[in-house]
Chains A and B, each alone.
Chain A
């Protein structure tokens, strides 16, 4: 059990801790433009609960007060549904904040939902008390009943 072993095990820890590589149904880099970061704020107008990716539509309020209809890409609804999150967990009219990157075709107002939160920064499907999501203790700021 010499130095070699210590190095080997340390290396193992680093590699195994790197966690699951993000592989998905498509390459994000081919779809979204790294040179077009966006920050979107506004009310949800529609949610497409579809596979392979859910799409959240929102009316982004621009600095001049006008709005633009954007679409934001999320993951498969199946995982959320399995955890008890349903259509009632995110409804039109709710305020959200999204950061991500715009589609490479800049004529499309579409972006990936790199982070999708409520205005106070809570993650959408984890800090969603009072929106229909189950009170199962998964939400750290959930009000105890």
Chain B
């Protein structure tokens, strides 16, 4: 059955690839650099003359952060449409009825990978990963990363490799490998304080709040509230709120925050937010507390911001890297996400670890 699915997937991929080659004269061409300043004078502005960035934005995008090797940044419209269609078909398939008289899933796990950990998650109707690929200046994008030009996160430095090897579970799944929740460091499951911030409902997972902010599987709403002195970037997931101090200096290095210390300034019509002073708790893709993030918010039309970020950490990556994607405004409301109110999952995970401890102790005695 699995073989049949894989064969079908490959056949479909080849058909799509051929269709793309026949119909994609623009694929492979570098896109024009996205605008650095807002166009036109009719864009909404604050009383102080700066662009009004306020609103609620839904950043659910299908475009992945990284691109497959040796592939262009720009997707042809035809290929993007097909990929979006495939994602939609997957959703429809996930929502379709199944046998009511079905049996229990197989012993030993259902083969699902990543955070689903062989037991699967739950029905697709709970999630909202978006329906479209990023489009910037008319071009559909195959990755959020625009620099390095290959669309891949730069190589880890030797010290970062040594650091991550110590705490991470050996696995071929990148999401799993970089998830602090799956670490194997001694004592990682000993108490709630050792669990990752996401699992403890203290911050969203997958860098949804950032910085840098990334699209995740659901609750992708972000709200911006703006004053001349401070700008709030509020995230639905775990109601993380970042407060950017305008025209200020960074806090002393001794003052560390999970989402870092953010200061902002205007460069023309672009809001530039500079963040340092991280802790070692968030570990963005294996980074250290010396992570440095520069985000640029530019209003490109009445309903859209362009979000671009550059991250650097000489102790983690061999060079800085940059990604960008639009923040489209939505009329949808941001709902309360009182994450901690019934976090049975954390209890179950710790209880599960005690169960594994007992089983190991029993094996040691034998």
Please list the residues of chain A having a beta carbon within 8 angstroms of any beta carbon in chain B: 1, 4-6, 8-17, 19-35, 37-39, 48, 50-55, 71, 73-76, 78-82, 97, 99-101, 103-106, 108, 110, 112-127, 140-141
Contact = CB atoms under 8 A, between A and B. Distances in A.
Q: What 4 A-B pairs are tightest by C-beta distance, nearest first?
A: A29-B117, A75-B126, A104-B352, A34-B109
A75 B218 contact: yes
A28 B108 CA distance: 14
Interface stretch (B16-24, B30-38, B320-328): B16-24
B49 interface: no
Given A14-B13, A79-B128, A28 B121 contact: yes
A22 B116 contact: yes
29 contacts: A5-B21, A10-B16, A13-B13, A13-B14, A19-B90, A20-B127, A21-B115, A23-B115, A23-B175, A23-B216, A23-B217, A24-B217, A26-B181, A28-B121, A30-B117, A30-B181, A31-B348, A31-B349, A35-B107, A35-B108, A35-B109, A53-B345, A54-B126, A79-B126, A99-B104, A103-B348, A114-B122, A117-B97, A121-B102
Contacts of A124: 123, 125
B183 to A, nearest CB: 10
Interface of B: 9-10, 12-14, 16-18, 20-21, 27, 62, 64, 67-71, 79, 83, 86-87, 90, 95-100, 102-110, 112, 114-123, 125-129, 142, 173, 175-176, 179, 181-182, 189, 198-199, 201, 204-206, 216-219, 236, 238, 332-333, 335-339, 341-346, 348-349, 351-356
B345 A25 contact: yes
Majority SS at the chain A contact face: mixed
Contact of B356 (A26, A104, A112, A113): A104
A134 to B, nearest CB: 14
